[in-house]
């Protein structure tokens, strides 16, 4: 045994580097824990493991995936004197790979059932024949490579394998924490490591339903219909090359004509009604997306939506608000069951609603609207330069150092410069862009839920018209349902506060709110419903995941928003 350990040290030390003091200092500073303990190795094998981890850490480019993995491994092993986790020694002195590791390798081989890629974990340096060879350097390399692969797998099933911000900076999602040291210890000692890793998987019924849909994908002999392509909005009486495919999808006689005739219009309206869409017979992006659900669902869409479920918090909250951007819909859920739902208007493709989770802490009745500087620059200033009476007509104040000043005394052409010291605030009233109530969850994006005077937009199927905030169709119905757990607050008590003065209401308990982005939703009976990729996040994620999918055309709005709509 001493010869094995001695040769292991000699073989690895020749190619390894010590962790430099500067690098160690950087690493300690970057850790989230307040105190890091690096315990000295107690034997030759441990010293070799330390040398190998130091070399990997020192040679990696800072802030890369390799660097982060090497850093975590160095400190993880450093806390345990760099003793091996997966290698064991029998009575004869032979070193071998543990049974738990063998079982984890079996999980790696079936990672595709989880919507993951086996090749991400069964890397060339995970070669079990190394353990049987007894070669010390190979054993040390295998030890650390296997921990690296196991940590990667655990993080992928828990947080997804794609960093959300690499798809869009509007995906303001942070990874969930894993106690990796404790996890590896549990796995190494377990007779059933698969059950331990399964604890990290999302438990939401829709994720599990998508996982089942993935397992069933392609099992039947029935040919899957080809997804209907996006395109120009199709109105009754028009013609389109997609008409025969739409006719076939709705199980009408395939006449081969490209004409959108009365029979097909009637079938489309029935379909729209069944899907909760605007029943207008117009085939726009929302109707096309709905037609592409069910049997027409693409495998890559299932995988991308599973990935986004991994981005979500593990616990959504027993009582929560869930806004699904592609669905243009808000729901209040209690214990996994939907208690209330209403339509919403979300941000345009230019002014996208960000994706993140927070907590509703305040309700504001008769709100002021503090106009964002981007809207002042892009919309209000040009309007004032055309008509100096614009701010008065819109019930707006110009604020300087806390005092109201006359807009006639301001050089509005300077609004785009850093020297423009004025704020614009819209007073409470019937025309206020926030309507009569807003629901606040303070965040860096300055995004919230609110009422709106622009009620006509809720009748449309495509509802991406705001400046980023979320407009609620029935705000006081929503408020009443939202305050179901508050004995002293109701929709009626909030309406009684109507007047010229802003009033803040603070619930006793904050309520989790999730601004989410799912292009697939699964009903209780397993039916998959599809929604348009309004911001393109889904197709970008599919590309980032390396899935083979033809890029979908950009979503085209069905109609233009109303003119002069300043609502956030």
Q: Looking at the annotation, which residues are catalytic?
A: 450, 469
| β pairing state of 95-97 and 87-89 | antiparallel
b/e burial code for range 79-109 (CB count within 10 A of at least 16 → b): ebbbebbbbbeeeeeebbbbebbeebbebbe
Phi first, then psi, for residue 353 (nearest 5°) are -70, 125
Least Cα distance to 520 among 275, 312, 210 occurs for 210
Q: What SS3 class is residue 188?
A: helix
Calculate the CA 254 to chain-centre distance: 40
Establish how many alpha carbons lie within 13 A of residue 89's alpha carbon, considering only the half-sphere containing its beta carbon: 12
Spatial separation of the C-alpha atoms in residues 314 and 307, rounded to whole Å: 13
Phi first, then psi, for residue 42 (nearest 5°) are -105, -10
Least Cα distance to 42 among 76, 70, 77, 72 occurs for 77
User: In the numeric block, which tokens belong to residue 294?
Assistant: 């069910």
**Four-point Cα dihedral 274, 275, 276, 282, nearest 10:** -100
Spatial separation of the C-alpha atoms in residues 220 and 207, rounded to whole Å: 22
Spatial separation of the C-alpha atoms in residues 194 and 183, rounded to whole Å: 12
- Report the residue count for the chain: 568
Spatial separation of the C-alpha atoms in residues 343 and 324, rounded to whole Å: 10
User: In the numeric block, which tokens belong to residue 151?
Assistant: 């940590």
Task: Write out the DSSP string of 403-464.
Answer: EEE-GGGS-GGGTTSTT---EEEEPSSTT-TTTTEEEE---TT---EE--S-GGGGGSS--E
Spatial separation of the C-alpha atoms in residues 395 and 386, rounded to whole Å: 17
Burial class (CB in 10 A: 0-12, 13-18, 19+), 143: buried
Least Cα distance to 101 among 139, 70, 75 occurs for 139
């Amino acid at each position: 045994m001493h010869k094995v350990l001695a040769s292991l040290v000699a073989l690895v030390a020749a190619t390894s580097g010590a962790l430099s003091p500067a690098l160690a200092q950087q690493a300690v500073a970057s850790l989230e824990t307040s105190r890091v303990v690096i315990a000295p190795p107690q034997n030759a094998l441990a010293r070799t493991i330390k040398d190998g981890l130091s070399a990997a850490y020192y040679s990696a480019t800072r802030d890369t995936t390799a660097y982060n993995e090497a850093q975590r491994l160095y400190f993880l092993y450093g806390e345990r004197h760099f003793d091996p986790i997966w290698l064991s020694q029998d009575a004869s002195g032979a070193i071998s790979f543990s049974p738990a590791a063998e079982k984890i390798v079996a999980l790696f081989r079936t990672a595709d059932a989880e919507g993951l890629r086996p090749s991400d974990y069964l890397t060339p340096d995970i070669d079990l024949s190394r353990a049987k060879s007894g070669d010390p350097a190979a054993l040390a390399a295998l030890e650390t490579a296997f921990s690296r692969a196991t940590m990667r797998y655990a993080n992928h099933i828990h947080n997804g394998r794609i960093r959300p911000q690499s798809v869009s900076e509007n995906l303001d999602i942070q990874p969930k924490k894993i106690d990796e040291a404790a996890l590896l210890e549990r796995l190494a000692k377990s007779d059933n490591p698969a059950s331990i890793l399964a604890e990290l998987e999302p438990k939401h019924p829709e994720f599990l339903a998508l996982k089942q849909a993935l397992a069933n994908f392609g099992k039947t002999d029935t040919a899957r219909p080809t997804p209907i392509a996006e395109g120009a909005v199709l109105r009754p009486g028009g013609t389109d090359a997609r008409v025969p495919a739409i006719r076939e999808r709705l199980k009408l006689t395939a006449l081969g004509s490209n004409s959108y005739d009365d029979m097909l219009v009637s079938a489309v309206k029935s379909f729209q009604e069944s899907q909760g869409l605007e029943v207008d017979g117009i085939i726009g992006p929302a109707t096309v997306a709905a037609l592409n659900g069910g049997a027409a669902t693409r495998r890559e869409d299932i995988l991308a939506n599973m990935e986004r479920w991994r981005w979500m918090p593990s616990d959504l909250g027993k009582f929560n608000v869930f806004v699904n951007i592609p669905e243009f819909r808000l729901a209040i859920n209690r214990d996994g069951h939907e208690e209330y739902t209403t339509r919403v208007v979300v941000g345009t493709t230019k002014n996208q609603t960000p994706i993140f989770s927070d907590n509703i802490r305040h309700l504001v009745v008769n709100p002021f609207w503090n106009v964002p500087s981007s809207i002042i620059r892009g919309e209000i200033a040009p309007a004032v330069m055309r008509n100096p009476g614009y701010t008065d007509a819109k019930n707006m104040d110009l604020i300087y150092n806390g005092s109201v000043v006359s807009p006639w005394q301001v050089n509005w052409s300077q609004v785009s410069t850093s020297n423009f010291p004025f704020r614009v605030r819209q007073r409470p009233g019937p025309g206020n862009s926030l309507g009569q109530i807003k629901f606040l969850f303070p965040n860096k994006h300055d995004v919230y839920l609110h009422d709106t005077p622009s009620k006509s937009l809720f009748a449309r199927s495509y509802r991406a018209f705001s400046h980023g905030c979320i407009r609620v169709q029935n705000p006081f119905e929503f408020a009443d349902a939202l305050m179901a757990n508050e004995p002293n607050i109701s929709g009626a008590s909030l309406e009684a506060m109507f007047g010229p003065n802003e009033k803040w209401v603070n619930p006793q308990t904050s309520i989790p709110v999730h601004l989410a982005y799912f292009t697939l939703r699964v009903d209780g009976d397993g039916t998959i419903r599809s929604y348009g990729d309004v911001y393109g996040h889904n197709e970008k994620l599919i590309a980032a995941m390396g899935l083979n999918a033809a890029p979908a055309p950009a979503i085209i709005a069905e109609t233009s928003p109303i003119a002069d709509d300043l609502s956030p």
